[in-house]
Amino acid sequence: MLPNTGRLAGCTVFITGASRGIGKAIALKAAKDGANIVIAAKTAQPHPKLLGTIYTAAEEIEAVGGKALPCIVDVRDEQQISDAVQKAVKKFGAYTIAKYGMSMYVLGMAEEFKGEIAVNALWPKTAIHTAATEMLGGPGIESQCRKVDIIADAAYSIFQKPKSFTGNFVIDENILKAEGIQNFDIYAIKPGHPLQPDFFLDEYPEAVSKKMESTGAVPEFKEEKPQPQPKPRSGAVEKTFRIVKDSLSDDIVKATQAIYLFELSGEDGGTWFLDLKSKGGNVGYGEPSDQADVVMSMSTDDFVKMFSGKLKPTMAFMSGKLKIKGNMALAIKLEKLMNQMNARL
């Protein structure tokens, strides 16, 4: 287990879902340093199947040396989030660390708040035993899981890093290896039993593990010299862009307001663009009429997989299959359009 250092004493940590499971484990780890914990969760009354409320969690937090502020928060309700933040500021002065459930948003927020707030994503390498896992996996699933303690220790490690550590997709086991942890059986529910890979990392586990060996994948913004492009040929890429074009509308253009350039390698590759600024939108081979806001580089095979829903953009980025240059917030907007394309590709 990663030992507590006391460095979070006086820090305020805003944690969603902190009434039980992973959220509560992170809260208790930080509380042992003397941190202030904002428990932002929906459960105020005891649940018939799930143990714990924001109030019982508050009692546990204060019992180990932390200060607690229980707040009823449904993360889908912006006003409840705002109210909880205001309560935190009023009681603790400010909050310095937050835990939310995020993925691609990490990239945009890390770029937007660079130098001010560090934004990172933390993923478990294996399934984690929680009440939710028990309900979804059924009897016996716990033997294939690790304890919530591994996520708490990994989050604690991230909390102690400087603001320059931002925009990372961190895997729990890898960051703890960097901290010197070698025996991971201490985190297993049943030491020695085969572990279930995490549901979101089972597509490219080896590639992700390599990429994250030290602390995680950091977005790269490198300028590359343009290469001569072959003439486009009819094929999967052309078909994909044709379907995208047929799906465009003024509403999509109005909601996106961005031009995307795709530098594709492999068969049917070359430079393609998706213009979601011009009226009605447009796609085509070659350079767009105006400067691109986002440049995405990848193979043609991965491009088709990504637009058809067979390859998650987050996983493509983490495994090095996708490189992004430009406005990361606009890159995230494209993911929503991809989701609309999936059913037709």
CATH of the domain at 66: 3.40.50.720
Q: What is the tally of structural domains in the chain?
A: 2
Instruction: Please indicate whether residue 187 is annotated as part of the active site.
Output: no
Shared-domain flag, residues 160 and 193: yes
Closest CA to 220 of 322, 336, 344, 86: 322
pLDDT given for residue 244 in this prediction: 87
Structural domain contains residue 334:
yes
pLDDT given for residue 140 in this prediction: 78
Residue 230, SS3 per DSSP: coil
Shared-domain flag, residues 18 and 140: yes
Shared-domain flag, residues 187 and 89: yes
CA distance 53 to 21: 11
Residue 193, SS3 per DSSP: coil
Shared-domain flag, residues 200 and 246: no
Burial 27-55 (b: 16+ CB within 10 A, else e): bbbbbbbbbbbbbbbbbeeeeeebebbbe
Written as one letter, the residue type at 264 is: L
CA distance 219 to 223: 13
Structural domain contains residue 289:
yes
Strands, E, within 240-340: which ranges? 258-265, 270-276, 282-285, 294-299, 323-326
CA distance 334 to 253: 11
Q: Which of 95, 156, 187, 260 is catalytic?
A: 95
Residue 215, SS3 per DSSP: coil
CATH of the domain at 287: 3.30.1050.10
Shared-domain flag, residues 272 and 146: no
- pTM: predicted TM-score of the whole model, two decimal places: 0.59
* H or E element that contains 97: strand 97-99
Range of the domain at 269: 236-342
Shared-domain flag, residues 124 and 193: yes
Instruction: Tell me the pLDDT of the chain (345 aa) as tens digits.
Output: 888 888 899 999 999 989 999 999 999 999 999 999 999 999 999 988 888 999 999 999 999 999 999 999 998 888 998 899 999 999 998 666 666 555 556 777 777 788 888 988 888 999 899 877 777 666 778 899 999 999 999 999 999 999 999 888 889 999 999 999 999 999 999 999 988 887 555 444 344 334 434 333 343 333 444 444 444 455 889 988 888 888 888 888 888 899 999 999 988 789 999 999 999 899 999 999 899 999 999 999 999 888 888 887 767 776 678 888 887 778 877 876 776 666 555
In tens, the pLDDT along 253-297 reads: 888 899 999 999 988 789 999 999 999 899 999 999 899 999 999
Look up residue 73 and give its DSSP letter: -
Shared-domain flag, residues 73 and 145: yes
CA distance 69 to 202: 36
CA distance 339 to 73: 28
Structural domain contains residue 229:
no
